[in-house]
Structure 1
Amino acid sequence: MEIRSALRHDLEGIVRLLVDDELGVSRERYELPLPQAYIDAFSEIQKQAGNSIIVAVEKEEVIGCLQLTFIPGLARLGMTRAQIDGVRVDKQYRSNGIGEAIVRHAIDSAKAYGCGLVQLTTDKKRKDAHRFYERLGFVDSHEGMKLSLGDSVES
């Protein structure tokens, strides 16, 4: 298995993983050709410094992914934080350490970048994910809130 930054040709596999999920199935669209919104978003992510999609690849197939974003801030004496989003592992590869490997890769990248903390959100319905993140050392320390802005897709 290889863990690396995503390339444009990985996008179909990434979207497939986002859809193949109890919550993603209602808010994502996997169809070929891919909706232009995914292509545009991926292009914007690639252009933005400190923002990347990380993939786990086995035999040229995307089997895991996450988004890693570095966020400079003023709070905590100007600390830069790392935000992890959209962690997914292909169902047939779960319980093989792939999720842990890509999250640890993201944590190591955050340390190398000089981040002072790594944060993530996970839907309250994802009890297995909560246990997974706690096992990796994440602490349920804050309540999160979201505000949907019109017709944009809720995350």
Structure 2
Amino acid sequence: MRTIFILMVGILFLTACKGDDDNNPVTPDIAGKWKVTKITSEMTTSSIYAIGEGIDYNGYMTFESNPNKVFGEGEVLLEIKMYIDGVLVETMQQTISLANQFETGQWEISGNNLTLSGQNSDVTMTITEINNNTMKLTYTPTDTNVVKYEFTRIN
């Protein structure tokens, strides 16, 4: 009888702990300054395929908490190769200003989504990886376009 009582208490304890974890999800700590270390983009339509990759990185994102503020600074140079029906037709370079791209605004994490709210728009990205030193985000602005960002924490 005592063994059954101990088992029941153990089951109740484990069940209670599981419920607490579900009601209080852990939000990753993104507060700090992050350097962009990689950007890739891909756009696909029926006949056009474009792929871009950063070639010069000098961009940063700073996340502050309480209140949740975000600031972008610097630039990344993106090289884009455009193909039509599988034939390379153009290679171009585009400068991405992180100050303009992400503006100064608010950030919020819900599940694996990071939403950046600026003066003119909201951008929601999927967090594909985050730890103390690395953050990877995927942004899908349209069904045919995907942009992936990788950051390294610098403080």
TM-score (norm 1): 0.27
Higher strand share: 2
TM-score (norm 2): 0.27
Structure having greater relative contact order (Cα 8 Å, sep ≥ 6): 2
